[in-house]
Amino acid sequence: MARDPLRTYGGLSRRYGDAVRVPFGVGRSFFLLSRPEHAERVLVAKQDNYVKAFTYRPLRAVLGDGLLTSEGETWRRHRRVVQPVFSQRHVVGFAPQMVETTEQVVRRWPDGVALDAAGELRKLTLGIVGRALFGSELGAESERTGRSLEALQRGAVAGTFLPAATAKRGVYRRVPGLAGALDHLDGMVQRVVRGSSGGELLNLLKESGEFGEAELRDEVLTLLLAGHETTAASLAWTFVLLSRYPAARERLEDEVDEVLGGREPKAEDVDQLPWTKAVLSEAMRLYPPAWTIERDALDDDDVAGVEVPAGSTLAIPPYLIHRNAEIWPNPEGFQPERFMGEQRRSRYAYLPFGGGRRICVGAGFAMLEATLVLATISRTHRLDLVPGVTVPGRAEITYRPAGPVPMRVIRR
Ligand code: HEM
């Protein structure tokens, strides 16, 4: 489980079905649940009975009291301050920076040459959160940040099933390679917090009076990491799929050409790009960057017929729900049509951003960003996977391509 959690979860659910109890140490149960009803019960209907699982302990050691890993009153306070910046009305104001940052990266691409698409997309998404939220230029740090996050994710997954001592950040500093990674991330946060240009979200966090120095750093680190790594992964998977499905790509290029007619996209265009959005949604169905969501039960519960004793851990992986063949016919197939027009399936059959009150605060930002990035790139360029290359995934905290993704850049 610690070495390859996604493969283990997948194997268990194939063998035992969509509700599996995994005997796990003395007096502790681990449930693997992959039906929409399970997600709805745990994340929404009975959310007061659940807290983020012990499996997030390593992440908490690093991100501390940021939104993603805090609980209770601390979480509530932070969410109240941060949420308004991410309201739909507000988020559209970031669109020009999203497009401009994309254009800057794309302009440097040499025609006809293969480059690492995953790395380029990370540069882009880190550049966007840095600029839009914190007024800092971070794109140039993306390579180092990428390597640091790789090291951190590996350490976090390896530490998941170790004793509670792993809740301490100091433990991670002793793992070879991790001290350097943590130092780099801390340095980046420090540069952001001390930066003179501020940026809207940073000013808001500072001025709210709700954050001590350490809490401010935790929140900035959380938003930088949660705000770029997932979007970069979903865009990387999207370009890989488009390269494999030329008809879907042509339809996307036609839509972009027709709606934009040669100019840069704006926030208002997004509603006119239904196929572009459907392609992204379908890519996130097949490859949800937040591939598993996990909770610990405070009290006994009945989760859609599964008796869950207090103290159990529940994994509700979007990856498995999104591939449940009872809900998604031809689950392995890439069919953006599923997201065109009215959708009749259960609301929790598709949950790339989670659900309930802990739903992704950046979901609207991410969808706007991914749509604008995809439209901006596709307007002028096409990315082709280098022939013969396969793109295995790696599921740690996020699910992303396991290594560089060599794609040839072609000017359209
Ligand atoms: C495609 C991109 C993204 C995906 C797939 C994604 C997915 C998720 C999911 C599934 C959760 C819930 C985790 C849980 O319940 O345990 C979450 C939470 C969160 N996400 Fe995202 N996210 C994305 C982009 C972003 C962006 C752009 C930001 C910020 C700029 C962001 C910030 C956060 C934060 C702060 C939380 C914690 C919210 C809370 O607990 O109150 N995410 N995300």
User: 89 CB contacts (<8 Å, ≥6 apart)?
Assistant: none
Q: pLDDT for 230-275, tens place per residue?
A: 999 999 999 999 999 999 999 999 999 999 999 999 999 999 999 9
Q: What is the pLDDT of residue 113?
A: 95
Q: What is the pLDDT of residue 165?
A: 56
And the tokens for 98? 């999203």
Rounded Cα–Cα distance for residues 385 and 184 (Å): 31
Q: Which atom of ligand 1 sits closest to the CA of residue 133? A: 30
User: 80 CB contacts (<8 Å, ≥6 apart)?
Assistant: 210
Nearest CA to ligand 1 atom 9: 353
Rounded Cα–Cα distance for residues 53 and 30 (Å): 10
Distance, CA 361 to ligand 1 centroid (Å)? 6
Distance, CA 125 to ligand 1 centroid (Å)? 14
Q: What is the pLDDT of residue 162?
A: 67
pLDDT band of 333, cuts 50, 70, 90: very high
Nearest CA to ligand 1 atom 23: 230
Q: Is 179 left (phi over 0), alpha (psi -120 to 50) or beta?
A: alpha
Kindly provide the b/e burial profile for residues 334-373, where b requires at least 16 CB atoms within 10 angstroms of the residue's own CB: bbbebbeeeeeeeebbbbbbbbbebebbbebbbbbbbbbb
Q: Which atom of ligand 1 sits closest to the CA of residue 78? A: 41
Amino acid letter, residue 396: E
Rounded Cα–Cα distance for residues 111 and 106 (Å): 10
Quickly name the fold that domain 5-411 has: Cytochrome p450 (1.10.630)
Q: Is pLDDT above 90 for 6?
A: yes
Region 382-403: mean pLDDT is: 94
Distance, CA 254 to ligand 1 centroid (Å)? 31
Distance, CA 243 to ligand 1 centroid (Å)? 27
In DSSP notation, 285-346 reads HHS-SS---EEEESS-EEETTEEE-TT-EEE--HHHHTT-TTTSSSTTS--GGGGSS---S-
Nearest CA to ligand 1 atom 21: 360
pLDDT band of 62, cuts 50, 70, 90: confident
334 within 8 A of 286, measured Cβ to Cβ: yes
Q: Is pLDDT above 80 for 330?
A: yes
134 within 8 A of 220, measured Cβ to Cβ: yes
Q: pLDDT for 206-223, tens place per residue?
A: 888 888 888 999 999 999
CB count in 10 Å sphere of residue 137: 15
Query: For the chain, which residues make up each domain, given as ranges?
Result: 5-411
Rounded Cα–Cα distance for residues 107 and 124 (Å): 12
What's the whole-number average pLDDT of the chain?
Answer: 92
Query: E-strand spans in 18-172?
Result: 19-23, 29-33, 50-52, 114-116
Region 333-343: mean pLDDT is: 93
Region 289-308: mean pLDDT is: 97
Amino acid letter, residue 123: K
Q: What is the pLDDT of residue 57?
A: 83
Q: What is the pLDDT of residue 26?
A: 66
pTM across the whole model? 0.95
Query: Nearest 5°: phi and psi at 245?
Result: -125, 80
Site residues for ligand 1, CB cut-off 6 Å: 67-68, 79, 129, 222-223, 226-227, 230-231, 234, 289-290, 293, 352-354, 358, 360-362, 365-366
Region 283-293: mean pLDDT is: 97
Distance, CA 119 to ligand 1 centroid (Å)? 21
Distance, CA 85 to ligand 1 centroid (Å)? 14
Rounded Cα–Cα distance for residues 326 and 17 (Å): 11
Rounded Cα–Cα distance for residues 148 and 167 (Å): 19
